[in-house]
């Protein structure tokens, strides 16, 4: 904060200097005034478009984002198993005991493995028709329907 003491009354010298300066500024040539006007218009355009830098930042990162997305899709496609990595173990004659195991440690978390394991189960069941025929004969002999 400035005190009134600081803002002294301008002397005649200061007033004359100021008047002369104002006079010289008021009588600039047309070319100078035109350039100043152009500069001002540029500044105003820049001020009006101040959001542009944010947009430009998005545009700058858009190609990088697209590349990253493409890389992610490629990785997912490559990681999708071309052959099922689940095998069926048939250690018991009881069909309800048919289980699937996976050679992949994270198979339980992989939806593709689960789907593939379901397909295996159906195929294995179709392949053991003799077993089902034997079970039917045995149960028929014991009078179980």
Partner 1 sequence: MLGLASLEPCKVRGGWPDARQDEEEGLDAATLRELDRFLAGIERRAFRIAQLALRDTDDAHDVVQGAMLRLAQSYAGRPTAEWRPLFFRILYNGIRDLQRRHGVRRRFLGWLPGAGRNDDEAGEDVFEQVPDPGPEPLQQLTATETMQQLEQALRRLPARQLEAFSLRCLEGLDVAATAAAMGCSEGSVKTHYFRALQALRIELAGARAEEQS
Residues contributing to the site for partner 1 (CB under 8 A): 1-2, 5-8, 10-14, 16-26, 28, 32-33, 35-36, 39-40, 42-44, 46-48, 50-51, 53-54
Nearer to partner 1, 47 or 80 (CB): 47
- E strand or H helix at 30, and its extent? helix 30-48
Nearer to partner 1, 36 or 73 (CB): 36
Nearer to partner 1, 43 or 137 (CB): 43
Least distance to partner 1, CB of residue 58, Å: 13
Q: What is the CA radius of gyration of the chain?
A: 43
Is 104 within 8 Å of 113 (Cβ atoms)? yes
- Strand partners for 73: none
- E strand or H helix at 93, and its extent? none
């Amino acid at each position: 904060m400035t005190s009134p003491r600081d803002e002294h009354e301008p002397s005649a010298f200061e007033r004359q200097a100021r008047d002369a300066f104002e006079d010289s500024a008021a009588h600039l040539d047309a070319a100078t005034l035109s350039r100043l006007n152009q500069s001002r218009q540029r500044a105003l355009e820049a001020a009006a478009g101040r959001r542009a830098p944010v947009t430009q930042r998005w545009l700058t990162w858009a190609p990088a984002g697209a590349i990253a997305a493409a890389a992610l899709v490629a990785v997912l496609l490559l990681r999708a198993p071309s052959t099922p990595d689940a095998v069926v173990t048939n250690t018991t004659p009881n069909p309800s005991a048919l289980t699937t195991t996976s050679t992949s440690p994270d198979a339980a978390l992989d939806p593709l493995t689960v789907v593939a394991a379901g397909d295996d189960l159906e195929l294995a069941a179709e392949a053991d028709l003799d077993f089902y025929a034997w079970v039917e004969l045995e149960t028929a002999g014991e009078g179980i329907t």
